[in-house]
Amino acid sequence: MSSHPFGFGRATPDRPVVVIGAGIAGLVAATRLKAAGVPVVVLERSDHRGGRMQTSRPEAGHRFETGQQFYYGAYRRTRALLKAHNLLGQLRPAPVRGLMTYGGDIAPFDKKRPWLGLLSTRENLRLWMALGRLSHRMLFTSPFGHKATDSLDSVSVDGHFLPRIGERAFELAIRPMVTSYSFAEPEGHSLSMLLKIARLGASSGTLALIPGNDSLPMALARGLDVRTLTATGIERGPDGWVVAVHATSPDGAAHSIETGHVVCAAPPPQAAPLFGAFPAVATALHAIPFTATIMVNFHLDRPLADKPWVYILSRRDGHRAAFAIDCARRCPEAFPLGDSVLQVSFVAPIARELLASDDSELAAIAAHDMRTFIPDLDQRVSDVSIFKRSLAVASWQTGSFARVAAVRDAATSIPGLRFVGDWLRSPLVESAIASTDALFEPPRAQ
- At 377 the pLDDT is 95
Beta bridge partners of 323: 312, 345
* Spatial separation of the C-alpha atoms in residues 272 and 266, rounded to whole Å: 9
Distance of CA 36 to the CA centre of its chain: 28
What is the phi-psi region of residue 182: left when phi exceeds 0, alpha when psi lies from -120 to 50, beta otherwise?
alpha
Burial class (CB within 10 angstroms; exposed 0-12, middle 13-18, buried 19+) of 386: middle
- At 112 the pLDDT is 63
Residue 327 DSSP one-character state: H
Task: For residues 42 and 188, state if they share a domain.
Answer: no
* Spatial separation of the C-alpha atoms in residues 437 and 249, rounded to whole Å: 30
| 417 belongs to a structural domain | yes
Task: For residues 167 and 225, state if they share a domain.
Answer: no
- Overall number of domains in the chain: 2
| 6 belongs to a structural domain | no
* Spatial separation of the C-alpha atoms in residues 68 and 215, rounded to whole Å: 12
Of the candidates 194, 188, 175, which has an alpha carbon nearest to the alpha carbon of residue 101? 175
Beta bridge partners of 226: 42
Cβ pair 318, 440 in contact under 8 A: no
| 251 belongs to a structural domain | yes
- 127-166 CB burial, b ≥16 within 10 A, e <16: bbebbeebeeebeebbbbebeeebebbeebbbebbbeebe
* Spatial separation of the C-alpha atoms in residues 423 and 405, rounded to whole Å: 11
Task: For residues 171 and 241, state if they share a domain.
Answer: no
Task: For residues 149 and 178, state if they share a domain.
Answer: yes
Task: For residues 168 and 198, state if they share a domain.
Answer: yes
Residue 348 DSSP one-character state: B
Cβ pair 328, 341 in contact under 8 A: yes
Q: Which domain holds residue 48?
A: 17-53+215-288+398-440
Cβ pair 97, 110 in contact under 8 A: yes
Task: For residues 121 and 178, state if they share a domain.
Answer: yes
Of the candidates 360, 80, 49, which has an alpha carbon nearest to the alpha carbon of residue 223? 49
Of the candidates 251, 230, 122, 146, which has an alpha carbon nearest to the alpha carbon of residue 196? 146
Task: For residues 171 and 221, state if they share a domain.
Answer: no
- At 111 the pLDDT is 66
Among 141, 173, 204, residue at a domain's last position? 204
| 418 belongs to a structural domain | yes
| 247 belongs to a structural domain | yes
* Spatial separation of the C-alpha atoms in residues 156 and 144, rounded to whole Å: 20
Q: Kindly give the confidence (pLDDT) of every residue in the chain, 446 residues in length, as a single tens digit, with 9 standing for 90 and above.
A: 334 455 787 788 999 999 999 999 999 999 999 999 999 999 999 999 999 999 988 776 678 899 888 999 999 999 999 999 999 999 999 888 899 988 888 888 876 665 577 888 898 899 989 988 888 888 778 888 776 557 889 999 999 999 999 998 998 889 998 998 889 999 999 999 888 888 888 778 899 999 999 999 999 999 999 999 999 999 999 988 899 999 999 999 999 999 999 999 999 999 999 999 999 999 999 999 999 999 999 999 888 887 889 999 988 888 999 999 999 888 888 887 778 899 999 999 999 999 999 999 999 999 999 999 999 999 999 999 999 999 999 999 999 999 999 999 999 889 899 999 999 988 899 999 999 998 987 655 54
pTM of full prediction above 0.85:
yes
Task: For residues 172 and 249, state if they share a domain.
Answer: no
* Spatial separation of the C-alpha atoms in residues 384 and 297, rounded to whole Å: 6
Task: For residues 282 and 404, state if they share a domain.
Answer: yes
| Domain CATH number, residue 250 | 3.50.50.60
Give one DSSP letter per residue of 22-42, joined into a string. -BHHHHHHHHHHHHTT--EEE
| 193 belongs to a structural domain | yes
Residue 427 DSSP one-character state: S
Cβ pair 51, 21 in contact under 8 A: yes
Among 204, 227, 250, residue at a domain's last position? 204
* Spatial separation of the C-alpha atoms in residues 74 and 125, rounded to whole Å: 28
* Spatial separation of the C-alpha atoms in residues 237 and 408, rounded to whole Å: 20
* Spatial separation of the C-alpha atoms in residues 157 and 28, rounded to whole Å: 33
* Spatial separation of the C-alpha atoms in residues 19 and 313, rounded to whole Å: 40
Q: What is the largest CA-CA distance in the chain?
A: 68
Phi, psi of 356 (to 5 degrees): -85, -5
Task: For residues 284 and 402, state if they share a domain.
Answer: yes
| 260 belongs to a structural domain | yes
What size, in residues, is the chain? 446
Task: For residues 194 and 256, state if they share a domain.
Answer: no
Angle at Cα 27 formed by Cα 327 and Cα 250, nearest 5°?
A: 90
Task: For residues 272 and 404, state if they share a domain.
Answer: yes
Helices within 267-341 (DSSP H only): 268-271, 279-286, 327-330
Give one DSSP letter per residue of 321-365, joined into a string. --EEEEHHHH-GGG-TT--EEEEEEEEBTHHHHHTTS-HHHHHHH
Tell me which H or E stretch contains 193: helix 191-203
Among 153, 173, 204, residue at a domain's last position? 204
| 341 belongs to a structural domain | no
Residue 238 DSSP one-character state: T
